[in-house]
Copies of this chain bind each other. A is one copy, B any other.
Amino acid sequence: MIKKRYLLSPGPTPLPEEVLSLASEPIFHHRTPQFSQNYMDVTDGLKYVFQTENDVYILASTGSGAMEAAVVNTLSPGDKVICINCGKFGARWAHIARAYGADVKEIVLEWGDNFSKAQLAEVLQEVPETKAVFSTLFATSTGALYDIQGFGEEVSSTKTILVVDGISGLGTTPCPMDDWNVDVLISGSQKAFMTPPGLSYISFSEKAWDLVESSTMPKFYYDAREYRKSLKNKTSPWSPAISLILQQKKSLDIIKSIGLENLIHHHQILGDATRAGVQAIGLDLLPTCPGNVLTAVKVPEGIDGIKLVNIMHDKYKVYIAGAQDPHKGDFFRIAHLGYIGGFDVITGLSALEMTLMDLGYSFEPGQAIKAAEEILKENWQ
């Protein structure tokens, strides 16, 4: 049989055809008015998605680079910080902060568990001299959404800044940087931004800039002051990733034509349909508060979770994500992020139904599709 590949992973995500085809256009030089115009257009588009009046800087690196940039620009060695370790990437905040000599209070959550505004308030009371809270909008490794608005309310009246990893979450769920008192917000090109991997984005509030000015952590490539200075000249401090920036401009044009609110609603529908689908065939969700980047689903009793993901990949060519260590085989993750439509959700659920049949799971085939169709058809506009 002819087998097509389907990317239902939380980055890279499928790209619109107009974005893909741009990569085959001739490359041009970056110290030109032509490039500056595109660069500033991308910066403006990013401000629209970040919902901020601050500048947003474009880094030629993937998300983990932007995480490092957030740490090295705002902190000095010995600074006390709180890292909410809500999964693989929450843990990364703590790793990076420790690597640069910060004094880390790491709050380790069970994967998928919630962490409330009230819980943060308690921890902040224990460590009132905390410089920064490092948190996550959407935990890619667990499918959980966190209460950034609440966290912002807790820190806004203090000297502590709120740093948010919005790498996968931004564009799929509300996170207005200025309104919610987020001080540092980062994201990446290969998620809801519908661009290949290779760019990440970072923005600082005025409150964060005060820390940047006094930060003594060693840095060069990620020094925010260099990016601020260069942006005044409508360019980047170092060589920009030209083709990716042109692709990001096209994707931002598409996002603006859809409208941010509609894009968020779109991801809500895809998330609702996927959750309804898996629950209709007796499967349980992992997270307490699921978000709309991906759906993390517990592997049912008696089914080999690693085999399940392998069959999805190798037989059906549907690239969902498995669970990461140390939970490998315990759950799997179907992404509905980026340039994904209703029939991609149907494809993912149909591949899942066939895989579960292959594995001998007892259920009524077709019911996942029926449940998803009922939500999709009502919202298909």
Contact = CB atoms under 8 A, between A and B. Distances in A.
B343 A6 contact: yes
Interface residues of A, number: 41
Given A1-B269, A258-B2, A350 B369 contact: yes
Given A366-B366, A370-B365, A381 B350 contact: no
A244 to B, nearest CB: 19
Copies in the complex: 2
A316 interface: yes
Contacts of A4: 339, 341, 343-344
Contacts of A368: 366
B347 A343 contact: yes
A270 B175 CA distance: 44
Contacts of A159: none
Interface of A is mostly: helix
A365 B373 CA distance: 8
A351 interface: yes
A266 B343 CA distance: 22
Contacts of A266: 1-2
A379 B4 CA distance: 15
B3 A341 contact: yes
Contacts of A366: 365-370, 373
B354 A1 contact: no
A354 B343 CA distance: 11
A269 to B, nearest CB: 6
A380 interface: yes
Interface string A256-276: 001000000010010000000
Contact of A377 (B269, B318, B340, B357): B357
A70 interface: no
A353 interface: yes
Interface in A331-381: 339-344, 346-347, 350-351, 353-354, 357-358, 364-370, 373-374, 376-377, 379-381
Contact of A376 (B2, B258, B343, B354): B354
Interface string A293-323: 0000000000000000000000110100000
A125 interface: no
A357 B376 CA distance: 12
A370 to B, nearest CB: 3
A157 interface: no
Contacts of A353: 369, 373
Contacts of A258: 2
Interface of A: 1-4, 6, 21, 24, 258, 266, 269, 315-316, 318, 339-344, 346-347, 350-351, 353-354, 357-358, 364-370, 373-374, 376-377, 379-381
10 contacts: A1-B341, A2-B339, A6-B343, A21-B24, A316-B380, A354-B373, A354-B380, A357-B377, A366-B367, A366-B373
